[in-house]
Amino acid sequence: MIQSYRGVRIQRRAPIRLYPFERFFRGFATAPPILELFGKNAGKILGGLKVEFFSPPFGYMGTSDIDGHLIVSSHHLKTSDLRTLYLDVVHELCHVKQFRAGRALFDRKRKYVDTPTEVEAYAFTVKEGRRIGMTNPQLFEYLKVEWVDAKDLRRLGRRLGVLGTGRPARGHRRRSPPTRARRRR
């Protein structure tokens, strides 16, 4: 759609390139946590799932609350350790299942750590982290994100049963806030 304003014309829609999920993330359809999420339909669901990349000098992953596709920072994809990427995809695929069930992924009336869909996705991811041998301190470290303060992080850690003894380590993994994927989905 092109609109005019004060003698200029602005194209209001730009083409978005979505890629097949399995072009970049292979083997998830047979991974134990994904089979638990989607059962025998895992291959079909992931075969139809799309992924979109964005490229600021920071970022993370998110799930579109419009059509349920994944949104991934190309920086995160390139620089994060493989275990973090794996767990992040597991987390986001939990959101894909929630979206497909008609659940609202975002709740502006609650804190991030109190949003039922986030708590469920983190609990599922923690379960997978334990299955692959992560310790509670490693899982607690995984939960650290820039947009969650220390008090809420401890509360989430306790809720998920991963908060170790002592105070949490300083600093958070570099992540951007969750993407509100309203445009184009």
Tell me: pLDDT of 121 over 90. Answer: yes
For 22-63, what is each residue's pLDDT tens digit? 999 999 999 999 999 999 999 999 999 999 998 876 778 999
For 144-185, what is each residue's pLDDT tens digit? 988 899 999 999 999 999 985 445 444 445 444 444 443 333
Mean pLDDT of all residues belonging to the chain:
87
Length of the chain: 185
* Sign of the dihedral defined by the CA atoms of residues 152, 157, 163, 168, in that order: negative
Across the range 94-104, mean pLDDT stands at: 97
| CA-wise closest residue to 122 among 102, 98, 150 | 98
Burial class of residue 54, CB neighbours in 10 A (0-12, 13-18, 19+) = middle
Residue 171: per-residue pLDDT: 47
| CA-wise closest residue to 129 among 152, 173, 99, 161 | 161
CB 60 within 8 A of CB 73: yes
Residue 174: per-residue pLDDT: 47
Q: What is the dihedral of CA 155, 161, 166, 169, to 10 degrees?
A: -70
Structure token digits, residue 77: 């994809």
Residue 164: per-residue pLDDT: 58
Annotate 7-32 with three-state secondary structure.
CEEEECCCCCCCEEHHHHCCCHHHCH
- Considering only CA atoms, give the Rg of the chain: 18
CB 109 within 8 A of CB 138: no
